[in-house]
Amino acid sequence: MGYIKGIDVSNNNGNIDFGAVAGDGVQYVYLKATEGATFRDSKMELFYSGCKNNNLKVGAYHFLVGTSTPEAQAQNFYNKIKDYNWDLVPMMDVETNFSGLADYVTRFVTAFGQLTSIPLGMYSYTSFISYLTNAKSVIQDMPFWEANYNNDPWNLPSNFFTNRVGHQYTETGRVNGVSEDCDINSFTDGALISNVTKPGQWIIKDNKWWYRHTDGSYTKNGWEKINGKWYLFDSEGWMLYDWKLSGDYWYYLGNSDDGSMKSGWLLKNNKWYYLGDSRDGSMKTGWQKINGNWYYFGTDGAMVTGWFNVGGYDYLTYSTGELITNIDIYGYRFDENGHATKLS
């Protein structure tokens, strides 16, 4: 879980050193594959190999245009990508307005679905979403990758999409291994093909739950998003609950009847915890700025209240846990950083 740094590139980015890209913290890479009914990006194969050789998760996208039928475009996209082992959900890039756009989008989604069982996602700009409302019923639940160049990852307005998996927050980013400016993104694990919700049903056995897909498979030793909520399953496929460590982070997964990942504020055993937002869910420690206020959480994740010392500085919080700053109170002066100095 959590957020993952990513880039997207095409033949316009020239030569790329994907070893250096990986060394700069990038984990996900989207490659342009096709545009229209005939264009195929000449760099895709080379870039794909570079990504795979450096353990980068890789996906492909198609640029939708209005000059050829969406069926022909879906076929072009599928033919280009079908022989590769993609990690990330293939994306339909929609950012050009033309007559009949919503119909084109709907027909492309339908045509691609007839060619493959691989799930399809969608990329577009915040300012462009209004042009897509007539296709809302078809696209609203698709994995959505949103472009909004505010240089502030995940600070995005609400819209009708229910499964936002990526935010492209700048087109002038700098990444080692790419010689010129490039698009920088922040993704969730929802961009992985393996994490797209698969049809199935919950089954209880011996007071434990598991989720069986319609093809008989089930998730083991990992996360799965089911009906908009994240669940963690053990090595045998049983749904986990309560506090669980996954990777480097702790998550709270509710009780045995509701193992969905929790987010936001959590009151547990008379202690307050903060679990990030619905795309993250990991228990926070140390300093955290939440809704404009600073809080401090111990190594156990519990919110600290009252007096405490960090890094040689004394701090004090209100009873709500908010750090006291920029005020003289209780016989102390608290500066803008919350450092306390006793008044004489």
Q: How many beta carbons lie within 10 A of that of residue 299, not counting itself?
A: 7
Average pLDDT over residues 77-101: 97
pLDDT 10s digits, 283-317: 999 999 999 999 999 999 999 999 999 999 999 99
Q: How many beta carbons lie within 10 A of that of residue 72, not counting itself?
A: 14
- Annotated catalytic residue, options 95, 103, 152, 181: 95
Residue 127: what are its φ and ψ, rounded to 5°? -70, -10
Q: Cβ(179)–Cβ(185) under 8 Å?
A: no
Structure tokens, 255: 């009780």
How deeply is 158 buried, as exposed, middle or buried, from its count of CB atoms within 10 A (0-12, 13-18, 19+)? Answer: exposed
Query: Is 236 annotated as catalytic?
Result: no
Q: Per-residue confidence at 1, pLDDT binned at 50, 70, 90?
A: low
Structure tokens, 118: 């691989």
Query: Is 8 annotated as catalytic?
Result: yes
- Which letter, b or e, does each residue of 92-107 get, where b requires 16 or more Cβ atoms within 10 Å of its Cβ? bbbeeeeeebbebbbb
pLDDT at 23: 98
Distance CA 269, CA 300 (A): 13
Region for residue 269 given its phi and psi (left: phi exceeds 0; alpha: psi -120 to 50; beta: otherwise): left
- pTM given for the model: 0.69
- Annotated catalytic residue, options 8, 41, 146, 183: 8
Structure tokens, 210: 């598991």
Q: List, in sequence order, every beta strand (DSSP E) within 51-120.
A: 57-63, 91-93
Instruction: Tell me which residue of 330, 333, 335, 311 sits closest to 319, measured CA to CA.
Output: 330
DSSP-assigned letter for residue 88: B
Q: What value does the mean pLDDT of the chain take?
A: 95
pLDDT at 226: 86
Q: What is the DSSP string of 123-149?
A: EEEGGGGGGGGGGHHHHTTS-EEEE--
pLDDT 10s digits, 196-245: 877 789 999 999 999 998 778 888 888 888 877 889 999 999 999 999 99
- Which letter, b or e, does each residue of 1-31 get, where b requires 16 or more Cβ atoms within 10 Å of its Cβ? bebbbbbbbbeebeebebeebbeeebebbbb
